[in-house]
Amino acid sequence: MPESPLHAPILSWYAAHQRDLPWRRPDASPWSVLVSELMLQQTPVARVLPVHEAWLERWPTPAALAAETTGEAVRMWGRLGYPRRALRLHAAAVAILERHGGSVPEDHADLLALPGVGEYTAAAVASFAFGQRHAVMDTNVRRVLARAVTGVALPGPSVTAAERRLAVSLLPDADDVAATWAVAVMELGALVCTATSPACGECPVRDRCAWVAAGAPAYDGPARRTQAWDGTDRQCRGRLMAVLRESSGPVHVSSLEAAWPGTEQRERCLAGLLVDGLAVRVGPETYALP
């Protein structure tokens, strides 16, 4: 494939501006990369950094986490949100121990078969941990390619076949360069080509960006969902989980009632936590982490 005119400027920009993140360092283990990818889903880097550090200090290998209860994984997850990710990470650690002798697998298909690992995460770990050539398509990458190549402000809500073909067509031929390209485009989207306030004056491909050339037209696709928080089931579940995490033993239902007074919503959310495996009932009126 002929080299894209986007390659050199974006790779050069990344070499000069990349953030020093622990899961990107040369000595980062594949486990560190996998943990980071699950933690970073819908969660900013600044919130992930301290939890990632604490997690790797306590559980430096998949085997170390697999030996713990799921409840301890949920407790260590803290306030990152979407705590089912902690359960998935624990399940992945168990699978890595049982299927791969405790080492994170290199093969994309083996990664994809791990609990909680989807197409994006499998491609990211294969690229970032093992230097392989894959199209890694997170929100940042999709936004950069949508603007620079197709000339639209924002990509649609889900990855299309056309987007995937475009991303694959732009991969450099050499595996190691393709892996760097994947993280470079992601970093450009995170730091410069942001969703709401893109710093086009700082962009290394401004002069060849189709969106800029078109006059930076506004997004005109389907309405984009915004997530409310106050009074939602997510907030209620978070309050209940905080009570369970902060207790060293079973929690009486009265403590949960104090955390969220609305009876019907609290009971619905508590039932959901039990179904999701994030809490267990240990007595007629007591609950705990699993």
- State how far the Cα of 72 lies from the Cα of 150, in Å rounded to an integer: 45
Which of the residues 3, 37, 57, 187 is marked catalytic? 37
Burial of 100 (C-beta count, 10 Å sphere; 0-12/13-18/19+): middle
User: The tokens of 18 are what?
Assistant: 């990349």
- Strand pairing partners for 286? 252, 283
Nearest partner of 195 among 255, 143, 118, judged by Cα? 143
Determine the residue type at 251.
V
Per residue, the 3-state secondary structure of the chain, as one string, reads: CCCCCCHHHHHHHHHHHCCCCHHHCCCCCHHHHHHHHHHCCCCCHHHHHHHHHHHHHHCCCHHHHHCCCHHHHHHHHCCCCCCHHHHHHHHHHHHHHHHHCCCCCCCHHHHHCCCCCCHHHHHHHHHHHHCCCCCCCCHHHHHHHHHHHHCCCCCCCCCCHHHHHHHHHCCCCCHHHHHHHHHHHHHHHHHCCCCCCCCHHHCCCHHHCHHHHCCCCCCCCCCCCCCCCCCCHHHHHHHHHHHHHHCCCCEEHHHHHHHCCCHHHHHHHHHHHHHHCCCEEEECCEEECC
Q: Does the annotation mark 72 as catalytic?
A: no
Catalytic (active-site) positions? 37
